[in-house]
Every structure is written in structure tokens, then in C-alpha cells.
């Protein structure tokens, strides 16, 4: 397990180094190896990255399927707000958007603490960042690689989440041979 930890830290460091000189924070996602979440999350922090969230209990993340089943961005945000009020909870709310029109809808609802641009190109992220105009935190997610992360960071987005920091890192193959 130590080998996995070390590898994740090194991978994260490469992503963090790639955005150096920008204000973007490199973050992991909740997608982790079963039973290794704590280690993988700590490896990201050790490598200079940030944890997005540890589980379903520390942030409300409204994904595209939630938006669709709720009847739209505004409806999903309103349901999340009512849930928090009903249960006397204070959690940040993040909403995933798929288009600039959804970004505008999320902004007009005024409920989200963070707007995620899901699978946007760097050009669309830049437009989204301009639309948001620092009214809330922004995040780019989906399709982020070591080769394109700097392009995303240069858009002015606050956070860039990279699932590959946890769910795609290959651990070192170590074995112990006993020789008589």
C-alpha cells in the first residue's frame, strides 16, 4: 500500500507543477479504490493537491442525472436548499453544468457555492468563468489530462478536478521472494 501512496503523490505533483503560476487548485474526485480512499486522498494532499470531498456527507454535489430527474438546474438547487433547511445542515452545494445556458441558470438561482463546468473545452471554461465573474467558485472537470491541464488553468477557473489522481493511478508491483 505504501507503493500506491507514493505513486499517487508523484502523479499529483506532476499535475500541480503543470498549473504552477496560475491560481487554479488541482483536486481529486470521490472516485477512489475501495477501502483505500483515506490513503489515496492523503497521497493527493502530499503531492500538493486538494481533496474535493471525502464522501457524500461533506458537500452536496448535484450531478447531471440529479438535474434531469429534478426537472432542471433551478429545481435541483431549490430541492438541495430545502433539504439542508429541513435537516438543519450547513453544507456547500456544487452544481454540475453541461452548457453555458445551464451556467446562467445556476447563477440566476443564486444557491450554488461552486459551479462545475463538466466536459467543457478550455475555451468554454473561459466563457463560463467570465459569466460567473467571481460570484461563486468555479471548477473544471472531465477530460482533464496532464497534457491539457495548463490550458484549463489559464482560463481563470478556481479548481480543476482530476479523477485520474485516484482512480487511474497504477500502483507499483512489488513482490518479496524468499531464497533459501
**Domain extent listing, the chain:** 2-165
Dihedrals phi, psi of 139, to nearest 5 degrees: -145, 135
Which of 40, 32, 33 is closest to 8 using CA atoms?
Answer: 40
Picking from 17, 12, 39, 13, the residue whose alpha carbon sits closest to that of residue 28 is 12
Kindly write down the DSSP assignment for every residue of 29-61, as one continuous string.
-S---TT-HHHHHHHHHHTT-B-S-SSTTS-EE
pTM: 0.88
Task: List Cβ<8 Å contacts ≥24 apart for 171-174.
Answer: 171/3, 171/4, 171/7, 172/3, 172/4, 172/6, 172/7, 174/3
One pLDDT digit (tens) per residue for the chain, 180 residues: 444 444 567 889 999 999 999 999 999 987 877 888 888 888 899 999 999 988 888 999 999 999 999 999 999 999 999 999 999 999 999 999 999 999 999 999 999 999 999 999 999 999 999 999 999 999 999 999 999 999 999 999 999 999 888 766 555 555 667 777
CA dihedral sign of residues 44, 49, 55, 57: positive
Q: What is the pLDDT of residue 122?
A: 98
What is the residue whose three cell numbers read 471525502? 54
pLDDT at 1: 46
Q: What CA–CA distance (Å, rounded) separates 54 from 151?
A: 27
C-alpha cell of residue 4: 500506491
Q: Please name which of 27, 42, 64, 57 lies closest in space to residue 139, comparing C-alpha atoms.
A: 27
Looking at residue 123, what is its pLDDT? Answer: 98
Domain at 2-165: CATH architecture: Alpha-Beta Barrel (3.20)
Per the CB < 8 A criterion, the answer to whether 95 and 76 are in contact is: yes
Which pLDDT value is given to residue 2?
47
Amino acid at each position: 500500500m505504501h507503493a500506491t501512496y507514493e505513486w499517487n503523490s508523484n502523479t499529483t505533483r506532476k499535475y500541480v507543477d503543470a498549473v504552477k503560476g496560475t491560481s487554479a487548485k488541482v483536486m481529486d474526485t470521490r472516485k477512489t479504490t475501495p477501502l483505500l480512499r483515506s490513503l489515496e486522498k492523503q497521497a493527493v494532499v502530499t503531492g500538493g493537491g486538494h481533496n474535493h470531498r471525502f464522501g457524500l456527507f461533506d458537500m452536496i454535489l448535484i450531478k447531471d442525472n440529479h438535474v434531469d430527474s429534478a426537472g432542471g438546474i433551478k429545481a435541483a438547487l431549490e430541492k438541495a436548499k430545502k433539504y439542508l433547511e429541513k435537516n438543519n445542515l450547513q453544507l456547500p452545494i456544487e452544481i454540475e453544468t453541461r452548457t453555458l445556458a445551464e451556467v446562467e441558470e445556476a447563477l440566476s438561482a443564486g444557491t450554488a457555492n461552486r459551479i462545475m463546468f463538466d466536459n467543457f473545452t478550455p475555451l468554454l471554461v473561459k466563457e463560463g468563468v467570465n459569466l460567473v465573474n467571481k460570484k461563486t467558485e468555479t471548477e473544471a472537470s472531465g477530460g482533464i489530462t496532464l497534457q491539457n491541464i495548463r490550458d484549463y488553468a489559464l482560463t481563470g477557473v478556481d479548481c480543476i478536478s482530476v479523477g485520474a489522481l485516484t482512480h487511474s493511478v497504477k500502483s507499483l508491483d512489488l513482490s518479496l521472494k524468499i531464497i533459501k
